[in-house]
Amino acid sequence: MITELLADLDAESRSLDEIVEGADWTVPTPAEGWTVGHQIGHLMWTDKAAILAITDPAAFQAQPLTADIVDRTAAEAAALPDLLELWRDSRNALREHLAQASGKIVWFGPPMSPASMATARIMETWAHGQDVADALGVVREPTARIRHVCHIGVRTIGFAFLLNGLAAPEAEVRVELTGPSGEAWTWGPEDAENRVSGPALDFAWLVTQRRNRKELAIEAVGPVAEEWLPIAQAFAGPPGGGR
């Protein structure tokens, strides 16, 4: 499984690499205060953080986590003249470490397995890649790799409720999505009263908060499903402001 995940991570990274190579990295993206350079810088910094978590968990946990760490490190990385090469090096190194890793990896949130970490890196690369694509006016063709994004979006339903000061729901939610090639992707029991359905791309945009729900063809049935979609998020950290 990890081999396939790492292949998808590499493919998602190379897809974004093709968009940013030769582009103007000073162009603002939809993330307030972040340019294209900030987006790539954040991906590089997170790669290095993950490598440290794998190779030296004690050092990772000893890092001071200031409130501005994400914005500050993105800005610092964006100023590096060789950022593209540094990102290429960091993502390749992380891929090698994940291929050899075993057991749980400490992280900013709950510890993760190597497979979960790889899936999270695919999600984040895709999401920040969307910010870059939007900034540069590039329309990306969706691929089957967005299933990883959707999977995290479904798995984090309880996390999303807790982040927003709500009790995690006891009722399960059935999620039925249509992949880019018309394939059916499903999660949850078939007989669940709460249901979410729609195009997988729209769901991926929703759970990464890259589009507003009003723009998306996502349908919800049941009180838990209705309450979940406005707060859904596939990423760690505090609730985002959305688009």
The tens digit of pLDDT for each residue in 84-107 reads 999 999 999 999 999 999 999 999
Rounded-to-integer distance, Cα 26 and Cα 221, Å: 42
Answer yes or no: do 109 and 161 share one domain.
no
Confidence of residue 77 (pLDDT cuts 50, 70, 90): very high
Answer yes or no: do 65 and 13 share one domain.
yes
Answer yes or no: do 163 and 88 share one domain.
no
| Global confidence as pTM | 0.95
**Cα radius of gyration (the chain):** 18
The mean of the pLDDT values for the chain is 96
Helix (H, G, I), strand (E, B) or coil at 126: helix
**pLDDT for the residue 110:** 86
Read out DSSP for 89-119?
HHHHHHHHHHHH--S-B--SSS-B-HHHHHH
Residue 193 burial (CB < 10 Å; 0-12/13-18/19+)? middle
pLDDT tens for 44-73 read 999 999 999 999 999 999 998 888 999 999
Measured distance between the N- and C-terminal CA atoms of the chain, rounded to whole angstroms: 34
What is the CATH classification number for the domain harbouring 35? 1.20.120.450
Helix (H, G, I), strand (E, B) or coil at 168: coil
> Is 119's pLDDT higher than 70?
yes
Compute the average pLDDT of residues 21-50. 97
Domain end marker among 74, 94, 114: 114
**pLDDT for the residue 67:** 86
Answer yes or no: do 159 and 102 share one domain.
no
> Is 243's pLDDT higher than 90?
no
**pLDDT for the residue 240:** 65
> Is 242's pLDDT higher than 70?
no
> Is 203's pLDDT higher than 80?
yes
**pLDDT for the residue 87:** 98
Q: In terms of residue numbers, what domain contains 199?
A: 146-231
Task: Give percent above pLDDT 70 in the chain.
Answer: 98
**pLDDT for the residue 109:** 81
Query: How many residues comprise the chain?
Result: 243
* Amino acid of residue 50: A
> Is 180's pLDDT higher than 70?
yes
Instruction: Tally the domains of the chain.
Output: 2
Closest CA to 221 of 191, 184, 193, 188: 193
> Is 202's pLDDT higher than 70?
yes
> Is 153's pLDDT higher than 70?
yes
Is residue 240 a part of any domain in this protein?
A: no
Answer yes or no: do 150 and 109 share one domain.
no
Confidence of residue 38 (pLDDT cuts 50, 70, 90): very high
What is the CATH classification number for the domain harbouring 216? 3.30.1050
Q: Could you tell me the CA-to-CA distances from 170 to 54, 161, 219 in Å, in that order?
A: 34, 11, 20
Rounded-to-integer distance, Cα 88 and Cα 127, Å: 18
Compute the average pLDDT of residues 159-165. 94
What does DSSP say about strands 194-199 and 219-221: parallel, antiparallel, or unpaired?
Answer: antiparallel
**pLDDT for the residue 68:** 92
Answer yes or no: do 26 and 100 share one domain.
yes
**pLDDT for the residue 226:** 97
| CA 76 to centroid of chain Cα atoms | 21
